[in-house]
Amino acid sequence: MATASAIIRGGPLAPSLSGSIYFTDVAGGVQVCVSVRGLPRYKPAVNNQSPIGPHGFHIHQTGDCSPGTAENPFPSTGEHWNPDNQPHGNHAGDFPVLFSNNGRALMCFFTDRFMVRDIVDKSIVIHENPDDYRTQPAGNSGKKLACGVIRLML
């Protein structure tokens, strides 16, 4: 059974955001467990603006977490990871949103969409807005707040 992890670090929009995520092969799929702190507080949508939080949470195609700028954070992560060309909302890399509880989020879930070996050297990204799971191609989840590269644990 393989295990991979990523250290999550905030970028220009959320420099204090940090945490970790673990992916563990289990019977029939992968258990995913994430722990982060420093998430921005929830701000409701106002005047046709998107809310801040709950936070979109995805695997992206490329394992490059170069921070970029506030206008374009983490520009090298690529699109959401979508190995079987599904419409958005059904990408293998689409995860449940993260809810900030005084800046913290802890969550574990199961997916049968991949095994650990499939995601090594990809990136995990936390976005500022909730994923709507329908807008193509990325769910209207806003700018990238944090990123981590998925590495196999030996």
Domain boundaries, the chain: 3-153
Whether the predicted pLDDT of 130 surpasses 90: no
Cα torsion through 143, 146, 151, 154, rounded to 10: -160
State pTM to two decimals. 0.93
Length of the chain: 154
pLDDT at 138: 65
Whether the predicted pLDDT of 90 surpasses 90: no
* pLDDT tens-place string over residues 93-117: 999 999 999 999 999 999 999 999 9
Q: How is residue 107 written in tokens?
A: 């969550």
Domain 3-153 has CATH 2.60.40.200: yes
Whether the predicted pLDDT of 147 surpasses 80: yes
Using the Cα atoms of residue 53, residue 129, residue 10 and residue 16 in order, give the sign of their dihedral. Answer: negative
